[in-house]
Structures are given as structure tokens and as C-alpha cells.
Structure 1
Amino acid sequence: MSGPGFAVIDFETTGLFPNGNDRVIEVAIVHVDELGRIEGHWDTLVNPGRDLGRPDIHRIRAADVMNAPTFDQIASKLVELLAGRVLVAHNANFDTRFLIAELQRAGHWTTSNVVTLCTMQLARDFLPGTGRSLADCCAAYDIELDGAHRASVDAAATARLLGAYVESANDPEFWGGPIIEAFDYRWPGMTPQDIAWYPRPDSAHPMTAASFLARMTHSLPDVAGPAEYVDYLALLDRCLLDRHLSAHEAEALVQLADELGISRHSCEALHLEYFAGLTRIAWEDGILTMDEMADLVDVGNLLDLSLEAISAALEAPTPLASESLAGVDPASAFALQPGDLVVLTGDMTRPREAWEGELLARGFTPWRAVTKKVKLVVAADPDSLSGKARKARDYGIPIVDEAALERMTRNG
């Protein structure tokens, strides 16, 4: 895979500061030969072991990177793909600084004189008067850029932009100098690791009960009783506090069912019972409001209940489960009380100070550290990999999103 040629690289990162706490969360490499022709492409998500920053920019969820390799695990493969080639990026200074910082963090010393070309800087010569953004440069050559801020998309577009530059200036001396220099550059030696790369999925479907029920076997003998059912329903209630099922929550439900000896069939029955409890509460005053109706639909969809079961809940105040397995009503088991400690983590849509002020105004206590006394952790992404989120899971503290916090504080 060594050169000669070009290796176009693009990173998605948690932020802008490679020498601070920001980390790489996705990388893509595209090989381009001396004539500007694409030879191959590779990409993977990267687990940074921390919060992912602003998901509205890169659209990567914490659940997406849970099973992705770390940078240390992909470093040897990445260097192999770069070896002997000119490193090319749109804003090469940014990507090179992250590359060097990540390699050094992984214990691989790398000099800063990596041979690079920057398609953004080259636009001054090839596209005078055009904007410097990747979108502007690609538009000038009618290069498709659909799905920007996805490493594979940006790297592929940059590779095609490089090819257009090469075609526009058929100058072997101009392109050949960096190619020869890069072929002689020596990257740090590394022991190869047999770690599969983990590309970002084409689409991200919401997590529902089907995703974890499928991991339970129908043949598992059910050795659980009412006490175990209560424990499962209590965890289910906490998992659905924000009407969102995170990957960590799904994993916790699978593990608990396995530990308690609850079969898949019983889990499905318990989900019906949980939904029946919500239905009874919604109809207690004889009226089903639009908010209550929307809530029942949300929960029914998360639990993968049939359309008939959900429709029945909206039409009549009759229980959906004729026989209770646990003998308890799991609904509304969790509520914030005045004075409860609430921890915020991650980059949220509202300023941290605004949330803290609202919590104080409603009688709750915003707190900075996660301890066993904390009642709730609020994250921009409930699957957050931040230290606060990991500690909350260790302590069994619920983690919800901003929408759930707003609903809880409004109803509190």
C-alpha cells in the first residue's frame, strides 16, 4: 500500500484543539495516484473514550462509537495507509496536527515535517476568487458533496478535488517534488494489530426493544418470579425516563434479564404490563390529552408493541395486560424532588448557565461532580462516553437528555 502517490485524509473530531482534550472520532483515507486517479478508500469510527462534543456538527452518536476501535488500535493500519504518500487534506494544518497529536498520545513519536499538500491553500492558485471552503471548491468543479462532515464523504470529495487540480496543471515537476519527498519520509515503526475498522453506518435508526430482545433466546428457561420482574420493570422505567432508549440502557436491560433469569417471552410480557400501567395512569381522570396520547405512542414504539396494542390504549381505558406478572405499577416511579442534585455533561443546545439557573429556580441543585448522592445526570447524548456519564452508570444513576430534563422540571 506504500506510495508513490497521495493519501487524502479527513478527520471528524470532538472539537478544534488537538493538544487539549479534543480527540479524533472518525477518519477516512483515500489513495490517489500520481495522475489524480482514485485507487482505494478506507474509513472507520474511533472510540475516543470521552464525550463526543457537538453532535449537531458531525452527527455521530456515542452509541455509534461504543464498539469502534480506539485510535491506538487503528494507528498501525493508518500509518501503513499513509506510508510513502503525500498527505493531502482540505485544511491540512488541522488534520496534520490531530494526526500527530493522536500518534504521540498513543506513544508513537512523529516529526512535524510530514509531507503535505492542502487543497484549501491550493485553491488560491487553481480557483482564484472562489471561497476556500470544501463546498465552494467542489462546486467550482461540479464535484458532489452530499453529506458533508462525514469523514468518508469529505475525503472522497477532497480526492476528486485533488484530481481536478492535477488535471488542470499537468506539471510533473510541481506534483513530483512532494511525491518523491514523501516516498522517503519515515513514519514510526509499529507492531501491526489485527483490528477491523468500523465504518459509520449509512443510517442511524432509533434504538427500540427489538434491538435487545433479539439477543435473548426464546428457549432460555424462565426461573424468575415477581421480585425479579419488579427489578426489571424498575430498570425499564429508568431507561425510558427520557422516552429514548440508549445503547447503554439496552445493554443494561439484557444483562439484568440474564442475571435474573428472565426469558425473552417474559420480557415481552413485562413490556406489555409496563405499557398497561402507563395507559391506566393516562386514563385515570377519564380524559386522554394530546400530550398523554403522544407519550403512549412514543413508549409503545420504543417497546415495539403492535399497532393494535397502541391503538387500543388510545381508544379505551382498559388494561392491555389481563394478568399482572409483577403485581406492581412501574409507571412514574422516578421523579425529581426539591433539593435533588442534578449533574449536566456535554455540549447542550442551551447554555450550561441557563440550565443551572432554571434548576435553581425550580428548587433543584445543579452539581458539578457525580457522586452517589446525585439523583440525575443530563447529557446532550444519553450514550455519552464522558467521565461523568461512566461514573453515573457505575452508580446506577439515570442519564437523560435535555428534553427529558425540561419535562421533569416542568412537571416537578
Structure 2
Amino acid sequence: MDGFAVVDTETTGIDPTHRHRIAEVAVVHLDAAGAVTGEWSTLLNPERDLGPQAIHRITAAEARRAPRFADIAGDLVEQVRGRVVVAHNWPFDAMHLRAEFARIGVESPFDDLAGFCTMRAASIVMPNSRRSLVACCTTAGLPAMRWHTARDDAMAAGALFGHMLAQAPEVVRPTDEQLQAAAWGWPALARDLAPTAQRLPADHVEPHFLARLVPWLPRDEEPLVDAYFAVLDDALLDRRISASDADALVGVATRLGLRREEVLAIHHTYLRALAQAAVSVGERELADIGLVATLLGLDGAAVADVLTPGDRVRVDPAPTVGGLVLRPGDKVVFTGMMTADRDDLTARAVAAGLRVMTAVSRQTRLVAAADPDTMSVKAKDARVLGVPVVTEDAFVRALAALAG
């Protein structure tokens, strides 16, 4: 045996038989004395919505660019090969790891007895402690961590294991089942297929998508920008530009051969159209147009440029450019774990005359998502069909306006 591999996973939900997946995995190596000798972790693209994001705090913008489990399976195997695996509530991690390996056709030794469970052992070593990892670490006098991140939870479980190793070595002695799992004959799996992906710092600011537009050679003809305007319409429906929106805009601009300076000029034109289409330009609308200007990478002077005296009078109708307007009969679809109760949100939508559907079609007005960068099947279908994916907050505001 080469030591211990402390494992932790963050998942999209509890039960893998209900299509829940691993969204982050970490492994911390300990030697026979319980000292940390190495660590490895990565976010994963679960290829579905992320579930309880309020708990694990993984955003779809992070996960969508992370490797899939199949891409890192070989690397993960090398992290656990020859080591006794350890986890807090091992049966939960075992269940998800077993399911992920099964999805790629790889048999694994990860049953409930194959790993050492610090939660189960804590009931013997620290019988007065509650069962959560936080409670057990507190009882053991261990420092607080950034809980519900796979890396820090694995570090905490490793420290807890080390504490038990020192206090009650007879409790943490590996069993025959755990040693057999450590000696499992894993198949040869490819390694280094994709780089690992780490969580972004809390203060990370994503560069404006315009910064990703590379300069292009001049052309002899004016660009056809209707396609770009159409994508921009959808992107600004909820007054934000998500990572998915930014990718779409960059893709359209690139296909059109637009240079960065030309896109900025198009944004000025778009902002003027938005101002001219507004119901009125009072304090609220000025702030809204200023927000759109910021999203488009324009400075404050751009707002003053588009707001001529003629723009300040009431015009007809409601905004048709860059505004989310719902009408009775519109078909809407929900995806992800919303802040509001899903049944309540559905009831409010139906009462306002909307048709709440369970699948996306070309007739769907929009998909309301807990995270607009979600990788749920519904969101994927929406992007293929050109149906906008908007935030829950934007949908609720539009619903309130429809309900009057």
C-alpha cells in the first residue's frame, strides 16, 4: 500500500440514477503517518444543470469550460491507484464515482466497503460530535476550511483522518476490503487528455467579450450585421451577457469578419435603436440604457450621444430591442434549481396567461434558468434552436410586468 487517497466530490444532486453527476473532484495524498504528500483537483463539466449551486457555488460559466469525467478518468485512476481511499461519508462519493466510471465502461472497486469513512469512524472516536464534516472537524479542534469545495473538503477530511490516526490508530486500520480495493487492477486509461480546471477567485472579473475579438484585415464591403443584431437581442433580454452569450457574439462577429472597432460602432447603432424604442427616458430608463451601454463595452459618453432631446418624449410601443417582453400565450420552459419554488413560479406564469412547457421547441419564447450558462438538456436544445436562455430574475420581472 502506498498510503491513503482522501477523496471528495461535489455533485449536481444526490442520486446518480437520476442523472446526477460529479461537478468537482479532489484527491489528497497522505502518507502512512497522515501527513499530506500531494493533492489534485478539478472542476468537471457534468453536461447538465448544476443543481444546488447555492451549496457548492460552482457556476455554469466555470463548469462549461472544464473537462468531462471521461477526459480525466485516467488521471483520477493514477491518483487512487495503490492507495486506500478515504472520504467523509464514503458511500456517497463511492456511489457517484462508481456511476461515473460505469458511464465510460470502466469497472471500479468502489463499493461501500472499499473505502474508509471518516464520518462512520467519528461515531467511535468522537461519539459526542454530530456527523457533518464541519462538526467533526470542529470537535477535533481543526481549522475551518472553504467548505463545500472539493479540494478543501478533501483537505479537511484528510486532517480529520490524521487526527483519528493519532488518537485511535486501531479504528483507522485498513480492512481487507479496503486493501483489496487499493490493489485493484485498473485498465490502462489515457492520461493528460485535458488540463484540470480550478474555481475562479471570488474577485475574478471576466474580460469583456470584445477583448476576445481579434483584429481582422480590412474588407471592401460593408458587413451584414443582422445576424449579430439578432444574437445581441437575445443576449440582452435579461440585461446581462452570460458566458454563453459572449461566446455566441464572438462566434458571429468572427464569422462575419468584423474587427473590434467595427463591433463597437455596431454597438453604438444598437444602443441608439434601444433609446429610440424606449417607452420613455426617465431616471429608470436612463439607468437601464446605461447598463446596456456598459454590457456593450461603451463608455458613459455613448449614452449622452444616443439620448437626444427627441428621445426624451414618450414613444410607442414597448421596447422591441434588447428588452424582455412576455405576452399571453407565450410558451416558456424552466430549467435548473430556481430560487423561487418551481410550483409557485409555474402557477404564477399560468395565471398570467403563459404556457409552461416541459420541453423546448421552435415556438418556445424563452427558457428561464437558475444559471443562464447552464448545460442542462433544455438549455442545450434552446441554443440549438435559437431560443433565448434568460435569468430567473429577468423572467420574474417580465412576468410581473405581464401580470400588471
Residue correspondence of structure 1 range 386-401 to structure 2 within 5 A: 386-401=376-391
Residue correspondence of structure 1 range 131-146 to structure 2 within 5 A: 131-146=130-145
Cα distance in structure 1, aligned partners of 2:112 and 2:326: 55
Q: Does 1:126 align with 2:120?
A: no
Which one-letter code corresponds to 1:267 in the other structure? V
Q: Does 1:288 align with 2:287?
A: no
The SS at the match of 1:214 is helix
Match of 1:225 among 222, 225, 239: 222
Cα distance in structure 1, aligned partners of 2:365 and 2:172: 63
TM norm structure 1 = 0.87
Give unmatched runs, 5+ long, in structure 1. Answer: 321-328
Q: Does 1:43 align with 2:33?
A: no
Which one-letter code corresponds to 2:228 in the other structure? Y
Q: Does 1:211 align with 2:208?
A: yes
Structure 1 stretch 398-407 or stretch 28-37: which is displaced more? 398-407
Match of 2:353 among 353, 360, 363: 363
Which one-letter code corresponds to 1:124 in the other structure? S
Give the superposed CA RMSD. Answer: 2.7
Residue correspondence of structure 1 range 8-407 to structure 2 within 5 A: 8-111=6-109, 112=111, 115-170=114-169, 175=173, 181-182=179-180, 185-195=183-193, 196-203=195-202, 205=204, 210-222=207-219, 225=222, 228-281=224-277, 285=280, 288-289=282-283, 291-309=284-302, 312=304, 317=308, 331-332=321-322, 335-407=325-397
Cα distance in structure 1, aligned partners of 2:355 and 2:134: 45
Cα distance in structure 2, aligned partners of 1:233 and 1:334: 15
Which one-letter code corresponds to 1:246 in the other structure? S
Cα distance in structure 1, aligned partners of 2:118 and 2:343: 40
Q: Deviations over 1:178-229 (max 9, x none)?
A: 698257631431322322222222237465xx43222212344256636x23
What is the aligned residue count? 393
The SS at the match of 1:160 is helix
1:174 Cα deviation (Å)? 5.1
1:124 Cα deviation (Å)? 1.6
Cα distance in structure 1, aligned partners of 2:231 and 2:174: 62
1:293 Cα deviation (Å)? 4.0
Which one-letter code corresponds to 2:291 in the other structure? D
Which one-letter code corresponds to 2:211 in the other structure? A
1:27 Cα deviation (Å)? 0.1
Structure 1 stretch 11-20 or stretch 212-221: which is displaced more? 212-221
Going from structure 1 to structure 2, the CA distance change for 1:224 and 1:57 (only over 3 Å counts) comes to farther
Tell whether the 8 Å contact from 2:208 to 2:297 is kept in structure 1 after alignment. Answer: no
Tell whether the 8 Å contact from 2:26 to 2:154 is kept in structure 1 after alignment. Answer: yes
Tell whether the 8 Å contact from 2:73 to 2:189 is kept in structure 1 after alignment. Answer: no
Which one-letter code corresponds to 1:235 in the other structure? V
Which one-letter code corresponds to 1:397 in the other structure? V
Going from structure 1 to structure 2, the CA distance change for 1:263 and 1:184 (only over 3 Å counts) comes to closer
Q: Deviations over 1:47-106 (max 9, x none)?
A: 111111121111111121112111122111111111111111111111111111111121
Q: Deviations over 1:7-31 (max 9, x none)?
A: 0000000100023311111000000
Going from structure 1 to structure 2, the CA distance change for 1:247 and 1:222 (only over 3 Å counts) comes to farther
Cα distance in structure 2, aligned partners of 1:138 and 1:123: 10
The SS at the match of 1:97 is helix
Tell whether the 8 Å contact from 1:5 to 1:179 is kept in structure 2 after alignment. Answer: no
Q: Deviations over 1:384-404 (max 9, x none)?
A: 111111111111111101111
The SS at the match of 1:197 is coil
Cα distance in structure 2, aligned partners of 1:381 and 1:261: 30
Tell whether the 8 Å contact from 2:165 to 2:172 is kept in structure 1 after alignment. Answer: no
Cα distance in structure 2, aligned partners of 1:114 and 1:106: 23
Match of 1:408 among 391, 398, 402: 398
Identity %: 38
Q: Deviations over 1:80-136 (max 9, x none)?
A: 111111111111111111111111121011243663111111112222211211111
Give unmatched runs, 5+ long, in structure 2. Answer: 312-318
Tell whether the 8 Å contact from 2:332 to 2:367 is kept in structure 1 after alignment. Answer: yes
Tell whether the 8 Å contact from 2:234 to 2:322 is kept in structure 1 after alignment. Answer: no
Cα distance in structure 1, aligned partners of 2:161 and 2:387: 50
Which one-letter code corresponds to 1:211 in the other structure? H
Tell whether the 8 Å contact from 1:234 to 1:330 is kept in structure 2 after alignment. Answer: no
Cα distance in structure 1, aligned partners of 2:19 and 2:181: 32
Cα distance in structure 1, aligned partners of 2:235 and 2:221: 21
The SS at the match of 1:175 is coil
Which one-letter code corresponds to 2:346 in the other structure? E
Which one-letter code corresponds to 2:73 in the other structure? A
The SS at the match of 2:225 is helix
Q: Deviations over 1:145-188 (max 9, x none)?
A: 332111111111111111121122355x9536569825763143
